[in-house]
Amino acid sequence: MPFCNFYEALGSRPLIAAHRGWREIYPENTLPAFEAAVGVCDFIELDIQLSRDGRWFVCHDPTLERTTDIETRYPKRLRPFRLADYRADELKRLDAGAWFLRHDPFGAIGRGLAKKEAIEKLLPIRLPTLEEVLDFALKSRMPLNIEIKDMPTRRCESVVGSFLDVLHEDDLPSVLISSFNHRYLHLIHRKRPDLSLAALVEGSHPPDIGEYLKRVGARAYHVDRALAETTPVASLEREGIVCGVYVINDPTEKARLVSAGFRSFFSDCPEVVR
C-alpha cells in the first residue's frame, strides 16, 4: 500500500496542522484564522457541513450558537440552531467573530498575542464556504485537511456526491479528506481513488487497524491524544499508513509523540508547538 500522497508531498519531517486555523488568536474556522496560519503551519485543518440548500460551509459544531450571533440575528427561530436547518443566504448574514472577543477562549487577547482592535476591524467575520477556502488555499499554496462532519439526516451517497461536485475541478490545492464517518471515506475512495483520505478515531481503535483502513481506503490514521499510547505507529507506517494525533498544544508532549513515530500534530497553538 503506497504512502498517503498528501503526506508524501510534504516530506518526512514532523508536520504541524493548524486546528480549525490558528484558532488561538482568531475565531476558529474563519478566513482570518486560516490567513494567520500561513507561514506558521504545514497545513490547515477545517470542518465542513451542508446547509439546508446544499452549500458547504466551514463550521465545527452542528449548531451555531457557540461561534456565531445566531440567537440575536434570528431571535424568532427556535433551538437547536442547527446549521443544516439554515439556507446559505441566511448563514452568510451571521457574524462568526464577535464571540471570540467576548470569550477570549485561549486567553490570547489577555496575553497580548491576539489584538482586540485588529479583530474588531474585521467584524463582521462571515462563515466561509468551502469554495472560498479552496480559493484561499490555492492562492496561498496552503495544503488543507478537510474534515467532513457526520450528517446523519442525509444519505451518505448524497453527502459524498455533493462534496465531490465541489472537488471536480483540476485546479485544486493539495487536500487530505478526513471524517469520523468512515462510510464517507469508503464511498469517496470508490469514486475518486486518487484522493488522499484519513480516518478519524476517538474512544477506541477498530480491530485489525491496518486491514480495516485498507478496506476503507484511508492511507492516514488520525487519533485522539488519549489513543496515542495504544496506536501501533511503527507497524502502520510499515503498511504505508501515516499517523497523526489531535489536539496537541504542549511542545513537550509533541516531542514525546514525535519520538513515538507520529508524523502530524493538530494544534490550536501552532506557533508554540512548532
Q: Is 21 helix (H, G, I), strand (E, B) or coil?
A: coil
110-120 pLDDT, tens digit per residue, is: 999 999 999 99
- Is 95 a member of any domain? no
Q: By residue range, what is the domain housing residue 177?
A: 5-61+128-273
- Is 183 a member of any domain? yes
Q: How many CA atoms lie within 13 A of 236 on its CB side?
A: 29
Rounded Cα distance, 136 and 124, in Å:
19
- Is 198 a member of any domain? yes
How many domains does the chain fold into?
1
CATH number, domain at 194?
A: 3.20.20.190
Q: What is the pLDDT of residue 3?
A: 60
Q: What is the pLDDT of residue 1?
A: 43
- Is 238 a member of any domain? yes
Across 101-137, b (16+ Cβ under 10 Å) vs e yields: eeeebbebbeeeebeeeebeeeeebbbbbbebbbebb
- Is 89 a member of any domain? no
Which segments of the chain have a pLDDT < 70?
A: 1-3
Rounded Cα distance, 116 and 137, in Å:
26
- Is 79 a member of any domain? no
